[in-house]
A and B are shown apart, each in its own frame.
Chain A
Amino acid sequence: MSDSRRLVDGIARGDAALFRAFYDQNAERLLRFVHYRVGGDVALAEEILQEAFARLCADPGAVGRLPGDAMLVPWMFGMLRRIIADWARSRARGRCISLDSLDPGVQEALLQGEEDEPPADALAHPQMQALVGMVLSLLSPVHAAVLRAKYVEGLAVEEIAVRCNASAKVIEGRLYRAREAFRAAFAQVRADLEAGDA
């Protein structure tokens, strides 16, 4: 049985220690995601995070019905998306990021292909920073860290390997998966915004 399945089953059984561990490990990341989605409103982001976890508390058995090896973090992200979508239609109307609300340059950067260079004026736009923050918060901390090391700090694979106490081959594989995860997360954010989900 995988760790994620054990976590899901444990929480479904009512294991409060596992619930707390899951919260401690992921609350900050989930909060960052919501924070960017709701246009930087920290208080609103905290409310939405609380609501998502409160729903989990109210019916922990629900996660036990997750199929196969489904993981809890993506399930929580899905719940957050649904809550944000609900709130965006009511009180948070106009405060959540939507495709229509994006700067034209940022919109272009969002919709262009994987090899297109984003418009220079869009790169420094706060909305662009929010989009990148959203995408990075969707990644696992390991993937986000290796991408930052490589593309922001400019470290070589060998240097990252030393930092992570792993072989260069492991880091290359991790980087490959992190890039794939980044593209998938970027596509996910784009799809959410296109669907008016945020």
Chain B
Amino acid sequence: MPDLSDPAERRLALLLAQERPLAVDRRRLAALGDRLEREFRRHAPRPWWRRHAAPLAAAALVPLLALPAWLLWPRPLPCPSALLIASVATVTAPAGRPADPGRTLLPGETVAVRGGRAELRWQDGSSLALEDGAELRLDDAGDGSKRVALVRGRLRAEVAPQPAGRPLRLAAAQGEVRVLGTRFAVECDPDALRVAVEQGRVEVQRAGDAAAVAVAAGEVARLAPGAPPQARALVESPLRNPGFEQPLGRDDAGDWCLDVRNGDARARLDEAAPHRGRQSLLLEQFRPLVFPPDAFAWPSWQEFVNSPHGGRGHASVSQHFPVQPGRSYAVRFHWRSQGLRREDQRPGPERGFVHFDAQLYFNRDHGGNRVQAITLLHAGDDAGEWTAWPPAGGANRGLFRVPEGANRGALSFKLSVARPDCTPRVWIDEVTCEAVADAP
């Protein structure tokens, strides 16, 4: 027994008695040890006899081959792990655990960016800047080359020159991007992979059939089911505020313009569950329409929808932008909805509709004559989850040529309501309208 009359012994006994056992998950710890051991082997300097024995033997046996043998002898592989640099502290790592700036990411680990940005940087200076919403896994290529898998979202890559035969490979569900040293941007949606190259050249290969296309600086390629991979010249988008990250503007400022006809319908920015970024555009009927009790029995449909006591709710947002006649523009957006309903004109309790429309207009001069109106989407059924337009694999690729005589384009999103007792909502996000070099 300790001598508890000795104050120092007594203090020691009292303190030690406070120890509480900590349950350590030894399997997790062993798994971490396995990964770290692999990482260690990659970086470990090779023993001198392994570095020199073979070349020396070759030199002794075949002097003429000594130099090529030395040159071809494999060198230590470059570092496949990457340093994680985050501008905000809300990056999450594999098991949803927060990850801090300065943390080393090991092969097999995933970074999911939530509410901020993150950057991965390798020792050779190559870096991937991940935007909010992006999810990326660092893979083990097995040959020392850099390999990442983009699960979703956007990133911008700046890749230092890579060793010959060991390009950086960026894989996604739709295909793979191979790069030896360049600057490019990648956007990965569930239905398409888009690669825009700023400098250098990358190869984009589609999963499945391995159809490939080389994408040069100033070009963009899109991988999607049903369309062959193709590189097109990239032109800056004429749209402003395409992700609705900034406040809605005024028409004369060239930004999204509010056009609310009915006081109980409105358009506003919404921070709840945007497709990407901080917020999305929300069109909503925030107070139910009221119809005369007998309106559902009126024989006239027009009379019903133009009822002076309630009638149609309508909220829309549009943006005007300059376009070049003869040039084609690729339009895309994402949307989801609650409470859409197909039109039913027949008298009865089901009478009415809740529609969402997306339209593209080509006009002559701002506020001038309409040259062409194109309905991109007319929806009476809900998209409960974020849905891309144009849909993957559909006939419509979202490419439109500007007709002669038009020099202004306009994109419009509209919620129309002619139903009582409902407050439908439509969210829109990530609108793009990019000029492309070729015709549809």
Binding site for B on A (CB under 8 A): 13-16, 19-20, 23-24, 27-28, 31-32, 35-36, 42-44, 46-47, 49-51, 53-61, 86-87, 90-92, 109, 114-118, 123-124, 128-129, 132-133, 135-136, 147-148, 150-152, 154, 156, 179, 182, 186
Q: How near does chain B come to A96, taking the closest CB pair, in angstroms?
A: 12
Which of B18, B24, B98, B106 has a CB less than 8 Å from the CB of A132? Answer: B18
Bound-complex Cα distance A115 to B89 (A): 44
Cβ-defined contact, A132 with B16, below 8 A: yes
Contact A152 B44, CB 8 Å, known A43-B95, A87-B100, A115-B8: no
Which of B11, B29, B45 has a CB less than 8 Å from the CB of A60? Answer: B45
Bound-complex Cα distance A24 to B40 (A): 14
Cβ-defined contact, A28 with B26, below 8 A: yes
Which of B10, B20, B32, B47 has a CB less than 8 Å from the CB of A50? Answer: B32
Binding site for A on B (CB under 8 A): 1-2, 7-20, 22, 24-26, 28-30, 32-33, 36-37, 39-47, 79, 81, 89, 93, 95, 97-104, 106
Residues of chain B with a CB closer than 8 A to A19's CB: 36-37, 40, 44
Given contacts A91-B100, A129-B20, A151-B9, 13 further A-B contacts (CB under 8 A): A23-B36, A27-B32, A47-B100, A54-B106, A90-B100, A91-B98, A115-B11, A117-B7, A118-B15, A133-B20, A147-B12, A151-B17, A154-B1
Cβ-defined contact, A118 with B11, below 8 A: yes
Contact A24 B43, CB 8 Å, known A32-B24, A129-B18: no
Bound-complex Cα distance A3 to B405 (A): 86
Bound-complex Cα distance A11 to B141 (A): 25
Cβ-defined contact, A27 with B10, below 8 A: no
Residues of chain A with a CB closer than 8 A to B81's CB: 54, 57-58
Cβ-defined contact, A129 with B19, below 8 A: yes
Bound-complex Cα distance A98 to B29 (A): 27
Residues of chain A with a CB closer than 8 A to B30's CB: 24
Identify whether the interface residues of A are mostly helix, strand, loop, or mixed.
helix
Cβ-defined contact, A91 with B43, below 8 A: no
Q: How near does chain A come to B92, taking the closest CB pair, in angstroms?
A: 11
Sample (24) of A-B pairs whose CB atoms are under 8 Å apart: A13-B45, A14-B44, A16-B40, A19-B36, A24-B30, A28-B24, A32-B24, A46-B28, A57-B43, A58-B104, A86-B100, A90-B100, A90-B101, A91-B98, A115-B7, A117-B10, A118-B14, A123-B17, A129-B20, A135-B15, A148-B19, A151-B12, A154-B1, A179-B12
Residues of chain B with a CB closer than 8 A to A147's CB: 12, 16
Bound-complex Cα distance A44 to B18 (A): 23
Which of A23, A31, A56, A123 has a CB less than 8 Å from the CB of B14? Answer: A123
Bound-complex Cα distance A156 to B98 (A): 47
Contact A86 B15, CB 8 Å, known A14-B47, A20-B33: no
Cβ-defined contact, B33 with A57, below 8 A: no
Q: How near does chain A come to B131, taking the closest CB pair, in angstroms?
A: 20
Bound-complex Cα distance A86 to B103 (A): 11
Which of B13, B19, B47 has a CB less than 8 Å from the CB of A133? Answer: B19
Which of A28, A35, A128 has a CB less than 8 Å from the CB of B18? Answer: A128
Bound-complex Cα distance A179 to B16 (A): 11
Name the CB-closest residue of B to A114.
B8
